[in-house]
Structure 1
Amino acid sequence: MTHANCPRCGGRLARDNASGRCTPCQAAERDRLSAPPTVPASFWEHEPVRQALAERHLGRVIRAYRCHPYHGRVALPQSVVAGWLGITQAQLSRVENGPPLVQLDRLAHWAQLLRMPEDSLWFRLPGQDRWANASPMDGEAIGAHGDDQVIERGDPAAVAVNVEQAPSQGGGATNRRRFNVLAAIAGLAAGGHTYLLPGPSAEVPGSIGMEQVRLASSLVDDLRRVDAAVGADLLCDVAMQAHTRLSAWAARASYSREVGEALQSALADLSIEAAWLAIDADRRSEARPYLHEAITRARIADDPQVEVRALTHLSLLIRESQPGESLHCAEAALRISAGWATPRLTTLLHLRRAHAYAVLGDASGFGREMTKARRELDRGSHEDDQGFVHFVNAQELKGIEGLSYLALDRPERAVQSLRAITANPSPGHRRNQVYYTVRLSEAVYQQGDVNEAARIALDVLPAVRQINSKRVSQHLAQVRGSLAASRQATTTTRQFVDAYDRVVRV
């Protein structure tokens, strides 16, 4: 009879050892309740772990991690690993068995906590300059972002090129943007969405099952990730084309009643994403039909969560042009979500109402809604937070407060709120950070400090060009127009206007 070996150190186990670990290794692991152990490189070559990594599903990676032979004959309990990750056992169970995580900050934090090797990940870690052997030809992400961003590895959609690097990448903004759009499409196609994307029509199945619905739902997550990498300007048409094709497929395919309800929700979600991209690309007139469609589909599917998402985006879309209707949309969303809304969602809806009141010139209504928003935000995040409220944090609250003060013609208060964002940036929400910095330049100009407005605008100019959001670039163009027309021209204002004009001509 041969003795078994300890999976951790390779030493032989005694015949009566029932733990699967030798005594020294058991002693070395007594502190595992407080922190993950340091595992050898070969740990990550175990087939279940490799398979989970290939599926790009961190929950399955964690399950394979817990069940690894390295830990002995008995898998690590979910309660132990959940303690490392700072969540409950029930939450970890949902992470392991539910859909893939899409929150990039959580992906990065947990990967670092478990000491997962960087070259096995499908996303970029903070502080990582670039991926080894990166090449746009094989779908690796080129390091062109600041260290505060988490970029998807193995996803060509994550390719983004600095303004300064553009000439070496083929020259000119037009070529650079075309490259990024093609990269975005390639990244979505790699996820299995070929027949939903622009290009020659691919053959589609005659019937739709839950697997196809799940694939369509994952497309929305992919679009969000690509949007974060290359911007809405480059992705809006891609999303609209995907929506058109999916809608046409759903209209002629056969499916069960259960699949039909899920499909309606998936189509509604895709409509909402297309609408958001249209808003950020400053194609607002194209957004509203998508949101109306989403509301209709959500009601057909009896999916209140999707309906609330659509109403939340509709409130944003029309808050400047129809603030009264914007108030009603946010109020309807609050009413529908009563009983199940998380604090973050409720915070967002009160912020929507606060800004609408400000546009209406109602300072009292604005103040009431901001107080409610702060109270809800103080309750913290929740395990049931939907992905679209991930950006709702203290910085976003300050941002909406600043924009509202601008609407109330109180630029001095707007400057205070918007400066709080630049002083305490939110690393995971770069586009919002850039947007509110541009609006800070506007507020400072309205306050009368032309030189400081130009300095802020000059500093943020490269970032505006990188994020490809026409909504943001339009505001910067307004700053440029105001500074160019100002009678208080200074060296800094001339520097900004000249730099802006050079960049726009590229």
Structure 2
Amino acid sequence: MTDMQARRCRCGTRLARDNTSDRCAACTTTARSTNGNPAEPPVVPLEFWTHPGMRAALDAWHMGRVIAAYRTHPHHGRPLRQETVAAWVGITQPQLSRIEHGPPIIDLGRLTQWARLLCIPPERLWFQVQKQRAARPPAHTPVPVPVLARAIISGPGGSGGDAAAVAAWRTVDAQIGGAHLYATVIAYLRDLVAPRLFGGKGGEGAGVFTAAAALTEMAGWMAHDAGHNDRAGRHFARARDLSGVGDDPHLRVHVLASLAHLAHHRAQPDDAIDYATQGQQELTAGASHPELAARLWALQARGHAAAGRSRETRAKLDRAETALQDSNGAAPSPWVSPFDAGSLAGEAARCMRQLGDLPAAQHHAQRVLELRPAGRTRSRAFAHLTLAGVLIERGELEQACTVATDVLHTTGSLGSYLVIQQLRDLRDQLHPHRATNCARNFLDHLAESLRQREWLYQLTTDITQPRTSPTP
């Protein structure tokens, strides 16, 4: 028998002479598992993805249709059951059915999860799959302070080194949360900044007070993320005083915005509006800063939303969007946190939910997920949790549980008390629906996850709590 005449398995492997079936040994083993359905995605040849049904699904940019085409592909011999494919990612058969027949998935994290699971060739996708990150540690293992953050403490001083420290901490904080980093920022302030404020190195002038203000304000955000709002308020107030001595007027306005944000979390919307308005007045009197202006308008919008003032809320959000489109501002200050379209979408989602405009809130929350990359763990978690809450209010329980489950899978090592608190709020919101299977299963999963997170959070707080108060 020539090579052209040799019998081959549907996967392309040449069949042995004594093999009387139409499958190779590997495919036979796969076919026999789980009552004829594989316990994990089988290896498929490249031509699998050029089948007309699969190509049509990929061209539709609809991952649910791709999954359906995958399940029913002739390569498998007989269609894979929805229960089997759903088990690959830990969801239920009804949830997978909703994915296949419902609106297209737009969350990049979930799209990436399915693309990697099914080993879809990157060139066939309508989105870009980021490189696989290192696996996160288990939820029950304390996350050590990153080497990067430890190196910052012993790094060079001076305004250049301080600005680099702020930028580095900002990047790490977005991934692992403020509870893990608070003590290292305090140590940096105490050991490398405070000695330069009073009788230390000469020649720095007002710049060292600017750096001290920026780092103190950052410490306030990390304390806030760790659930210590009183301490955060003291840091923000100290940062405002220091920024008055410094040489960056945008930083002082930025600190006023932080005070407004904290006032919202303390259920003081009028104070929040006052801080944001004061910031707008100071910004108008000096050099423009479109991102900072947009943030202040959005903070005012939140205050009006808390009072149920729909027209004022929407007007302020419109002003924020207009401000972001202004490209004539001054060069961005290295001390001011960025505020972009994703940030504004997050604020808009909160406002619209408070006003009861659930479709708009859902739209803005989904917009955050479109704009935020996978590395922005905490920001994506907030958006997912907002979206889950909105979906519960709209009666879409299965989809809400699917979205919330994504948060549990991606934030196991995140040191953020704010995320823990939002998970508790979601638990309370979902509890009246416990009679449904999806809610009951998720709540059981959430209860265990919260026990682990609260234990981890308390341990991390005990380990990283500074022994002495910060000098600045």
TM beyond 0.5: yes
2:268 to 322, 340, 347: 322
Mapped to 2, the partners of 1:126 and 1:252 lie a distance apart of 50
Q: Structure 1: how far apart are the matches of 2:416 and 2:310? A: 30
1:330–1:350 contact (8 Å) kept in structure 2: yes
Matched residues in 2 for 1:278 and 1:307: separation? 19
Verify: 1:176 aligned to 2:176, yes or no: no
Question: Runs of 5+ in structure 2 lacking a partner?
Answer: 1-127, 453-472
Pair 1:443 & 2:390 matched: yes
What is the deviation of 1:472? Answer: 1.8
Match of 1:342 among 250, 267, 289: 289
> Does 2:220 align with 1:272?
no
Q: Is 2:249 the counterpart of 1:304?
A: yes
Amino acid paired to 1:486? P
RMSD: 2.8
What's the offset of the Cα at 1:311?
A: 0.8
Question: Paired residue for 1:239?
Answer: 185
Q: Distance in 1 between matches of 2:195 and 2:337?
A: 31
Q: 1:284 aligned to 2:287?
A: no
Q: Deviations over 1:251-275 (max 9, x none)?
A: 653444x524111111101111101
AA of the residue aligned to 1:230? I
CA distance in 2, matches of 1:182, 1:423: 28
Secondary structure in 1 aligned to 2:350?
A: helix
Q: 1:333 aligns with which of 279, 282, 299?
A: 279
Q: How many Å apart are 1:333 and its aligned residue?
A: 1.4
Q: Is the 8 A contact 1:291 1:314 kept in 2?
A: yes
Measured against aligned partners, the alpha-carbon deviations of 1:201-231 in whole angstroms (never above 9, x if no partner) come to: xxxxxxxxxx634333432223213213432
Instruction: Check the 8 A contact 1:348/1:389 in 2, yes or no.
Output: no
**Aligned counterparts, 1:88-487, within 5 A:** 127-129=130-132, 143-144=133-134, 161-162=135-136, 165-166=137-138, 173=140, 175-177=141-143, 180-181=144-145, 183=147, 185-189=149-153, 191-192=155-156, 212-246=158-192, 248-250=194-196, 253-256=199-202, 258-320=203-265, 321-338=267-284, 339-380=286-327, 384-387=331-334, 391-423=338-370, 425-426=372-373, 429-483=376-430, 485-487=431-433
What letter matches 2:237 in structure 1? H
The one-letter amino acid paired with 2:254 is R
CA distance in 1, matches of 2:131, 2:169: 23
State the identity %: 21
Counterpart in 1 of 2:446?
A: 500
Q: What CA distance in whole angstroms lies between the structure 1 residues aligned with 2:328 and 2:417?
A: 30
SS at match of 2:204: helix
Q: For 1:276-305, what per-residue CA distance to the aligned partner results, in whole angstroms no more than 9, with x for missing partners?
A: 112222222111111111111111235312
**Residue matched to 1:51:** none
SS state at 1:392 partner: coil
Q: Is the 8 A contact 2:220 2:232 kept in 1?
A: yes
The alpha carbon displacement at 1:455 in A equals 2.1
Specify the code of the residue in structure 1 equivalent to 2:311: S
Q: Distance in 1 between the 2:316 and 2:443 partners?
A: 38
CA contact (8 A) 1:274 1:290 kept: yes
Work out the number of aligned pairs and report it: 323
Distance 1:410 1:388, change over 3 A: farther
Q: CA deviation at 1:346?
A: 1.4
Structure 1 stretches of 5 or more lacking a match?
Answer: 1-124, 130-142, 145-160, 167-171, 193-210
Q: Distance in 1 between matches of 2:311 and 2:192?
A: 45
Match of residue 132 from structure 1: none
Shift of the alpha carbon at 1:391? Answer: 4.5
8 Å CA contact 2:300–2:316 kept in 1: the answer is yes
Please say which structure displays the higher CA radius of gyration. Answer: 2
1:478 Cα deviation from its structure 2 partner = 1.6
CA distance in 2, matches of 1:445, 1:127: 30
Find the aligned partners of 2:246 and 2:342 in 1 and give their Cα distance: 35
Kept in 2, the 8 Å contact 1:451–1:490? The answer is no
C-alpha distance 381-437 of structure 1, shift in aligned 2 (>3 A): farther
Q: Indicate conservation of the 8 Å contact 1:450/1:488, yes or no.
A: no
Q: Distance in 1 between matches of 2:129 and 2:400?
A: 30
Higher relative contact order (CA closer than 8 Å, sequence separation 6+): 2
Aligned-pair CA distance for 1:410: 3.5
8 A Cα contact 1:399 1:417, kept in partner = yes
CA distance in 2: counterparts of 1:213 and 1:388, whole angstroms? 11
| Contact 1:271–1:293 (8 Å) recurs in 2 | yes
SS of the residue 2:239 aligns to? helix
Change (3 A) 1:480 1:282: same
Q: Specify the SS of the correspondent of 2:402.
A: helix
One-letter identity of the residue aligned with 1:225: T
Q: 1:470 to 1:392 in 2, by over 3 A?
A: same
Tell me, in whole angstroms, the C-alpha distance in 1 between the residues paired with 2:314 and 2:262: 21
SS of residue matched to 1:467: coil
Task: Quote how far apart the aligned CAs of 1:307 are.
Answer: 0.6
